[in-house]
Amino acid sequence: MGRPVRIEYAGALYHITSRGNERRKIFLETGDRIKFLDLLRDYHDRYGILIHAYVLMDYHYHLILETPRRNLLKIMHGINSAYTNHFNRSHKRVGHLLQGRYRAILVDRDRYLLPLSRYVHLNPVRAGLLKRPEGYLWSSYRGYVGKEKEDWMEYGWVQSQFGERRRRAAWEYRIYVEEGLREEDGNPLKDVYGQVMLGGKEFIGRIKGGLKGKRLSAGIVERKRLFEHPSVEQILRKVEKVFGMREEELLEKGSRLNVARKVTIYLAQRYAGLSNREIGDRFGGIEASGVSKAVSRVREEIVSDEKLSKLVSSLVSSFKA
């Protein structure tokens, strides 16, 4: 049987799992877990990935991540290779740490991101390690419910499903996750289609349509951009129209209150396929770190401002139409 095809496009959302070779542990001590989280932070900053949820178990890990720049292969090869090198050095061993290829399932955000996040966060409880998920130190759940938030995590989309007030959203999400403990069959992955897709009929039909005529034999990776990167110019045109502003107002350095400019930088970083340095050069000579900070601020504002959240969602939809 051939290996599942890899599907990549800008803005794709994936559920990723990887397990230890020969059913061995991949995390032996606290330092191992800290190193893996450091790698997630590093790849978030360098390559613009968005991490919606994670859990690190002894024998495997789960990630829900988004790739605005269509770079899943580079990301996962880099993370797994770097972690394997760390593990082998730290524990004086050689050879493969992880079992074959990681599993990457393309996810329909609107239908499955929320239940998948719950499934990921309940892994330690279902494994019998503890009774409540907030007691587990090595998952993103604690940040979601207001404990030890990590600045590289993407909490916004999931929390926005429970309202615009952060504390209320955190409380409602906690209730939602704990309701999952009472469900006998709480694994959304049972609905996976063809080993690689998790979504409704429309979503699966759209993805399959983008793969027509492609050879999907063993080991073949599908690199077609189902959604092409919008250029910075295309993003500018859209934002100009929505906010009623001129291009120079969006590109030139100015007031921190220029919401339209911040939204433009946010969209360019997520969807234009450019590095932070390239975006900084385009927007008046901002440092790469400044671009990253600006994007983080917009993500936070999207969570607390329902009007802004809807506006940005509308702009993103227009790029993918």
Q: Looking at the domain 232-320, which fold is it?
A: Chromosomal Replication Initiator Protein Dnaa; Chain: A; (1.10.1750)
pLDDT at 165: 84
Q: DSSP labels for 124-174? A: HHHTTS-SSGGG-SSBTHHHHTTSS--TTB--HHHHHTT-S-HHHHHHHHH
pLDDT at 214 over 60: no
pLDDT at 268: 87
The HSE-up count of residue 228 (CA atoms within 13 Å, CB side) is 5
Per the prediction, the chain carries an average pLDDT of: 86
For 246-277, write each residue's pLDDT tens digit.
Answer: 888 888 776 556 888 888 888 888 777 677 88
Give residue limits of the domains in the chain: 6-222, 232-320
Q: Residues 265, 295: contact at Cβ < 8 Å? A: yes
Q: Where are the alpha helices (DSSP H) in the chain?
A: 30-47, 72-90, 109-121, 123-126, 141-144, 156-160, 166-179, 201-210, 232-243, 247-251, 259-271, 276-282, 288-304, 306-320
Confidence band, pLDDT 50/70/90 cuts, at residue 226: very low
Return the structure tokens found at 276: 């932070």
**Gap between the Cα atoms of 279 and 267, Å rounded:** 10
- State whether CATH 3.10.20.740 applies to domain 6-222: no
Q: Do domains 6-222 and 232-320 have the same CATH topology?
A: no
For 45-90, write each residue's pLDDT tens digit.
Answer: 888 899 999 999 999 999 999 999 889 999 999 999 999 999 999 9
118 closest CA partner among 174, 162, 200 = 174
**Gap between the Cα atoms of 250 and 114, Å rounded:** 34
Residues above pLDDT 90, as percent of the chain: 48
pLDDT at 276: 82
pLDDT at 220: 27
Confidence band, pLDDT 50/70/90 cuts, at residue 224: very low
pTM: 0.69
pLDDT at 254: 67
Return the structure tokens found at 61: 């890990």
**Gap between the Cα atoms of 242 and 240, Å rounded:** 6
Confidence band, pLDDT 50/70/90 cuts, at residue 212: low
The average pLDDT across 91-95 equals: 93
The average pLDDT across 91-110 equals: 93
